[in-house]
């Protein structure tokens, strides 16, 4: 196989493996795919490891990582870490090209659901033998769950994500609208519809911000942000037990009803059109469906008047998303113990907090969370911790078909919300695209990669 053909094959396989949604009930049937020989507890001689890192959106995130590398290298003599700055471009394409040439680094990161495709393709080492019992107990269960595929751990992050509804309590109280206290007290979708109508009467022409500026076809925001509405209604992105079809799940009556409700908000003009991302901070929309990354901006705009409440209940309880960037060790890495020495350093409370203080994400360990103000028992972002620990948060589907799933759902969501396309027919089209990808890849068998 020529290099060009190989790259084309890998790109096709990964695109079908980097895009899916999540589901509950996908753990019982999992089995161990291979023997875990990643860490044997020994570092041979002096090791130099290279690492790659995606281009972050959070200001200062890469400089923080550079500082972590410097501190680690100065703290001991056995392992030296070299952070490689990749040229500007498509990070996933760089990884695929390096994999085709056998030139992957010793450590690199992926957005959480992309790990599954790389694990299925045989590009990664499992990490289970590297974790100590104490570290495993310290990690948020969501971090472990999101990085697990077929019963083994392939990715591990130093932070997780939080998703909910930002509200201005003063506005709600003035309008006589209750503020939910937690996930079990979430607004129903019908209740939210009435709230939006009431807020319009209070003078807010577009009371709900869905961050539609970022809802372009194919954008991951559509899947991460709004698959929870489908799950909450009782639908799913794919069969959560077999991962062999989306038919009857993504296009079931519950999924259609949830997205029809959301589309009705747009049709009624209750949703900010997304010409910019300032609807909340400029006071146009007192409700904003978004994630942890906006807390600093929102609370800065309205000090003391910002709260985070659960996403609405579309019939089966409030559900939210989870998962963020995770570290993985390529199968070609010479000494996993040397890489793990650095990863365990990044997972220390001091280093976890150095990163999350910059990017605003949820710390991955309980020991780090205990030292925060925002995520403490009485902190303003505590809801995120409760969701991640209680099961209200779900991982995006842990299947190498994720790329096809998220692409199909994201495009369908954009058509439904931006173009007001027919909901059932649009979801049927997404199901057809997903099921075609599954069939084209023989349903991603665990062997024969």
Q: CA 156 from chain center: how many Å?
A: 13
Decide if pLDDT at 45 tops 80: no
The whole-number pLDDT of residue 246 equals 98
Mean pLDDT of 71-89: 91
Mean pLDDT of 27-46: 59
Mean pLDDT of 256-282: 98
Q: Are 436 and 15 in contact (CB under 8 A)?
A: no
The whole-number pLDDT of residue 90 equals 87
- Alpha-carbon dihedral 430, 436, 438, 443, rounded to 10 degrees: 150
Of 99-103, 191-195, 346-350, 392-396, the least confident: 99-103
* CA-wise closest residue to 380 among 295, 285, 288: 295
The whole-number pLDDT of residue 85 equals 82
CA distance 139 to 363: 9
CA distance 400 to 15: 9
CA distance 6 to 2: 6
Q: Are 161 and 292 in contact (CB under 8 A)?
A: yes
pTM above 0.75? yes
CA distance 421 to 418: 8
Q: Please name the residue that has the structure tokens 């990715």.
A: 155
Q: What are 385-427's pLDDT values in tens digits? A: 999 999 999 999 999 999 999 999 999 999 999 999 999 999 9
Q: Are 61 and 82 in contact (CB under 8 A)?
A: no
Residue 430, helix vs strand vs coil? helix
The whole-number pLDDT of residue 19 equals 35
Q: How confident is the model at residue 447 (pLDDT cuts 50, 70, 90)?
A: low
Mean pLDDT of 130-145: 97
Q: How is residue 391 written in tokens?
A: 């099961």
The H-or-E segment that residue 67 falls in is helix 61-75
Q: CA 224 from chain center: how many Å?
A: 6
Mean pLDDT of 1-9: 33
Distances in Å between the alpha carbon of 368 and those of 130, 164, 317?
Answer: 20, 22, 29
Q: Are 195 and 187 in contact (CB under 8 A)?
A: yes
Instruction: Name the DSSP class of 225.
Output: H
Q: Please name the residue that has the structure tokens 């020495």.
A: 341
The whole-number pLDDT of residue 12 equals 40
């Amino acid at each position: 196989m020529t290099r060009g053909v190989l790259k084309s094959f890998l790109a096709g396989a990964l695109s079908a493996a980097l895009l899916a949604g999540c589901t509950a009930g996908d753990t019982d049937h999992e089995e161990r795919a291979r023997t875990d020989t990643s860490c044997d507890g020994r570092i041979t001689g002096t090791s130099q490891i290279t690492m790659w890192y995606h281009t972050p959106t959070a200001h200062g995130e890469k400089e923080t990582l550079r500082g972590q590398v410097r501190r680690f290298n100065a703290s001991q003599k056995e392992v030296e870490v070299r952070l490689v700055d990749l040229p500007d471009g498509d990070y996933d394409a760089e990884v695929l090209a390096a994999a085709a040439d056998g030139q992957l680094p010793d450590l690199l990161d992926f957005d959480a659901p992309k790990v599954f495709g790389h694990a299925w393709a045989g590009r990664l080492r499992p990490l289970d033998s590297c974790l100590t019992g104490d570290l495993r107990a310290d990690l948020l269960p969501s971090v472990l769950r999101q990085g697990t595929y077929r019963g083994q751990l392939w990715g591990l992050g130093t932070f997780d994500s939080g998703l909910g509804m930002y509200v201005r309590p003063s506005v709600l109280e003035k309008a006589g609208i209750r503020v939910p206290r937690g996930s079990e007290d979430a607004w129903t979708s019908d209740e939210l519809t009435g709230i939006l109508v009431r807020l319009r009467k209070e003078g807010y022409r577009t009371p709900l911000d869905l961050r539609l500026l970022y809802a372009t076809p194919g954008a991951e925001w559509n899947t991460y942000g709004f698959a929870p509405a489908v799950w909450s209604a009782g639908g799913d992105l794919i069969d959560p037990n077999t991962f062999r079809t989306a038919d009857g799940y993504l296009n079931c009556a519950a999924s259609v009803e949830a997205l029809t409700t959301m589309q009705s908000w747009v049709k009624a003009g209750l949703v900010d059109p997304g010409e910019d991302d300032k609807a909340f901070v400029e006071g146009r929309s007192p409700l904003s469906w978004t994630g942890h990354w906006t807390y600093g901006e929102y609370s800065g705009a309205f000090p003391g008047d910002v709260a985070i409440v659960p996403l609405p209940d579309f019939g089966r309880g409030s559900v939210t998303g989870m998962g963020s960037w995770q570290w993985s060790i390529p199968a070609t890495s010479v000494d996993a113990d040397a890489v793990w020495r650095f990863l365990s350093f990044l997972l220390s409370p001091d280093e976890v907090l150095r990163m999350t203080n910059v990017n605003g994400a949820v710390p991955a360990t309980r020991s780090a969370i205990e030292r925060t103000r925002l995520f403490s028992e009485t902190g303003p972002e505590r809801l995120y911790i409760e969701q991640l620990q209680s099961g209200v948060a779900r991982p995006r589907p842990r299947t190498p078909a994720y790329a096809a799933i998220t692409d199909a759902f994201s495009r369908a969501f954009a058509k439904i919300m931006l173009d007001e396309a027919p909901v059932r027919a649009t979801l049927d089209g997404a199901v057809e695209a997903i099921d075609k990808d599954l069939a084209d890849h023989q349903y991603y068998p665990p062997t024969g990669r």
